[in-house]
Amino acid sequence: MSGSTVLIVDDEQTLARSAKAFLADHGYEAEVAASGEKALELLESLQPDVVFADVRLPGMSGIDLLKRIREFDPVLPVIMLTAYGSIEGAVEAVKLGAFDYVKKPVDLEELKLLADRARENRLLKQELSYYALRAWWESHPPCMRCSSARARSPRWRTRRRCCSPAKRAPGRVSSPTPSTRQAPAP
Amino acid sequence: MVLPTLFVGIQAIRTNALEGGTLEALGQRLAHSRTYAEVEDAMFNQTQVVWRYLSGDPAAKKEFPLTEQVVDFWLDRWAAGLPSGDVKLADGVRKIETDIRGVAARVFKLYDSGQRQAAYLTARQELVERLQPALAEVNREIYRQAREFSVQRAFSQVAAIVATERRVLWSIIFLALVAGLAASWLISRSLARPLNELRHAMAVVGAGDLDHAIEPRSSDEIGDLARAFAQMTEKLRQSRAQLVQSEKLASIGQMAAGVAHGLRNPLASLRAAAQLAQHRVEGPAAREQLNAIIEQVDRLDQRIAHLLAFSRPAPFRPLRESVRALVDGALSGFAELLRQRRIELAVAVPPTLRVSNALDAMSDGGRLEIAAQSQSGEGAADDVLLEITDSGPGIPAEILPNLCEPFFTTRPEGTGLGLAIAKRYVEETGGRLDIASRIGHGTTVRIWLPVASGDTAPTPVRSLT
């Protein structure tokens, strides 16, 4: 099923492998990265839908990884795992954009449930953004003359033109729509 | 400092008086000389009277007795003021005066009897050539004596005064030196030494040795200073001890955190592996075993959690909490257990994790009472008193004092930290925890928490169950 790729970032091998196997048994495609740097590399190719990251990692910390992920993907759910379990850490992580914060030793069932929730959340968000974009689009029609999708000010909307006849360029595609890859399965 | 000045002043005054006396004496002497001048004048007048008579003034003869009186008067006066050694001089003068009177009488007689020439001659021979020079001689002598006498006397007096003064001044100087040395020695003993000790103590303490003893000995300002310094050192020592303590705690906290992390990661791996196996394996027996493994892992995790909670140096924010909310919150975790053990719950307000212990004590049935009341305790603020009473078997008196010690537990699977943590939290909020128990009757845990005022209040208890 779509939206079921998980990236697990933890240097604790056994835990990571067990989690990967467990998630795989439940229909997820899971990959393991042993450090923040590796995780960033994998993000590119794997395009996960959910990320689990330990707070303590060799090299870059889990929080730093979270920040880096947030730089280029504001909606990717990142769940932090930790052996400390301090409230301050949890608050900080959530403020920085973590989806949730789990204490180690972590129950694998709980892990799976979290992945489910995160995925669902992400899908919902995507659906939401699709509809939002469409709604916006529909309230902002393109220019009738040149079909260009620019100039969305209210002025244009009433006039429905943004250009003089000379500006019209042949072969212009009209009404670009949002990517259908993101469209939710109903 | 004052005394020598005083002495010098007194001496000066005395000297002044003495010198004044000397001057006065000198003045008297001069006056005395003037008195003699009167005598001289009187005697001169006498001879003049004789000459006047001789030159034909008949009234002169009658004046002569008057002059005698005048001379007597002045002579007596003068003689009275003579010092004893010079009485001879007066005799000399008197003798001459007597001679003058004799001569005058003879001259008058001669003149009256008509022998004017003889009278004149006698007058000339006796008065002018004999008596007047004699008188002049005596006069010179007298004046000389008087001068010498008075000047000499004045001189020797002043010399004596000067000598005395010099002596006195030297002795004042000497005394002042001695007294000064004595005083400075005394001062050094009573002032400089304590100051020195204090300075030394300050240096030692300043270098870091806060255990140096400071004994204020005197009750004056130096003593006060020493006492104040001792107090300050004591406070410094206390706060340093506190600092060391909290540093220890902080490092324990850090170590604990490190240890916890180091332990929890392998535990996580264990648990995950066991869970995965449990998920995949066939057969309830195997699952059972794996379950047991997972349980043990959870238990270990519990211990670690307790340890962490106990050793955390507690960045600790007391929050407002309604007492009722506290109870309900804490109790919700126990609802299941309560039901299982058929324990009747009478809640009048909140408890904490102590409910866990109470529940353990009442494994089958029983009554758990939780009551809260507002109490005006010692100290300014009112307290809220929470009482958790169970109807379990009670706690033996011998172990009551040890209950809240860390790592003290009677349960095989206990960490021994629950009560210690509770007590610490309660005390850090400013409250008190007390446990009373009787064998066979149950146990009551009393917790006093300060009533919220301003923005600090009873802390929300973290549920550590």
Is pLDDT above 80 for B393?
no
Least confident of A155-159, B129-133, B428-432: A155-159
pLDDT, one tens digit per residue, over B281-338 is 888 888 999 999 999 999 888 888 877 777 665 544 445 455 555 556 666 656 655 5
Cβ of B276 and A22 within 8 Å?
A: yes
Instruction: Name the residue facing B272 among A19, A84, A88 (closest C-beta).
Output: A19
Q: Which residue has the tokens 């408890």?
A: B351
Instruction: Name the residue facing A84 among B261, B269, B273 (closest C-beta).
Output: B261
Instruction: Name the residue facing B269 among A12, A21, A25 (closest C-beta).
Output: A12
Is pLDDT above 80 for B347?
no
Instruction: Name the residue facing A83 among B264, B272, B297 (closest C-beta).
Output: B264
Cβ of B271 and A13 within 8 Å?
A: no
Cβ of B273 and A108 within 8 Å?
A: no
Per-residue model confidence (pLDDT) at position A114: 93
Instruction: Name the residue facing B269 among A15, A56, A107 (closest C-beta).
Output: A15
Q: What is the DSSP string of B181-228?
A: HHHHHHHIIIIIHHHHHHHHHHHHHHHT-TT-------SSHHHHHHHH
Instruction: Name the residue facing A56 among B261, B272, B273 (closest C-beta).
Output: B261
Q: Per-block average pLDDT, block size 10, for chain A (186 residues)?
A: 82 92 93 94 91 91 92 90 80 90 91 92 87 84 64 58 55 49 48
Per-residue model confidence (pLDDT) at position B457: 38
Of B146 and B214, the one with more pLDDT:
B146
Cβ of A88 and B268 within 8 Å?
A: no
Residue of B nearest to A14 (CA): B269
Residue of A nearest to B309 (CA): A86
pLDDT, one tens digit per residue, over B232-267 is 888 888 888 878 877 776 777 777 777 777 888 899
Cβ of B279 and A85 within 8 Å?
A: no
In degrees rounded to 5, what are phi and psi of residue B374? -85, 140
- Min Cα–Cα distance to chain B from A117, Å: 20
Give this prediction's pTM: 0.45
| A25 in contact with chain B, both atoms CB, cutoff 8 A | yes
Q: H/E/C letters for each residue in B310-376? A: HHCCCCCCCCCCCHHHHHHHHHHCCHHHHHHCCCEEEECCCCCCHHHHHHHHCCCCCEEEEEEEEEC
Distance CA B257, CA B253 (A): 6
Mutation for testing the A interface, residue in B267, B269, B280, B306 having most A CBs under 10 Å: B269
Per-residue model confidence (pLDDT) at position B92: 84
Cβ of B271 and A106 within 8 Å?
A: yes
Residue of A nearest to B254 (CA): A84
A56 contacts in chain B (CB < 8 Å): 261
| A110 in contact with chain B, both atoms CB, cutoff 8 A | no
pLDDT, one tens digit per residue, over B98-114 is 888 888 888 888 888 88
Interface of B with A (CB under 8 A): 257, 260-261, 264-273, 275-276, 279-280, 297-298, 301, 305, 308, 315
- Min Cα–Cα distance to chain B from A18, Å: 5
Per-residue model confidence (pLDDT) at position B414: 62
Please report which confidence band the pLDDT of residue B370 belongs to, taking 50, 70 and 90 as the band edges.
Answer: low
Per-residue model confidence (pLDDT) at position B57: 83
Mutation for testing the A interface, residue in B265, B319, B463 having most A CBs under 10 Å: B265
Over residues B444-460, mean pLDDT: 57
* CATH of span A5-136: 3.40.50.2300
Q: H/E/C letters for each residue in chain B? A: CHHHHHHHHHHHHHHHHHHHHHHHHHHHHHHHHHHHHHHHHHHHHHHHHHHHHHCCCCHHHHHHHHHHHHHHHHHHHHHHCCCHHHHHHHHHHHHHHHHHHHHHHHHHHHHHCCCHHHHHHHHHHHHHHHHHHHHHHHHHHHHHHHHHHHHHHHHHHHHHHHHHHHHHHHHHHHHHHHHHHHHHHHHHHHHHHHHHHHHHHHHHHHHCCCCCCCCCCCCCHHHHHHHHHHHHHHHHHHHHHHHHHHHHHHHHHHHHHHHHHHHHHHHHHHHHHHHHHHHHCCCHHHHHHHHHHHHHHHHHHHHHHHHHHHHCCCCCCCCCCCHHHHHHHHHHCCHHHHHHCCCEEEECCCCCCHHHHHHHHCCCCCEEEEEEEEECCCCCCCEEEEEEEECCCCCCHHHHHHCCCCCCCCCCCCCCCHHHHHHHHHHHHCCEEEEEEECCCEEEEEEEEECCECCECCCCCCCCC
- Min Cα–Cα distance to chain A from B311, Å: 13
Cβ of B272 and A15 within 8 Å?
A: yes
Instruction: Name the residue facing A18 among B257, B273, B298 (closest C-beta).
Output: B273
Is pLDDT above 70 for B379?
no
Per-residue model confidence (pLDDT) at position B269: 93
B281 contacts in chain A (CB < 8 Å): none
Q: What is the mean pLDDT of chain B?
A: 76
Is pLDDT above 90 for B153?
no
User: Domain ranges in chain A?
Assistant: 5-136
* Number of CB pairs, chain A paired with chain B, less than 8 A apart: 66
ipTM: 0.71
A15 contacts in chain B (CB < 8 Å): 265, 268-269, 272-273
Mutation for testing the B interface, residue in A104, A106, A110, A114 having most B CBs under 10 Å: A104
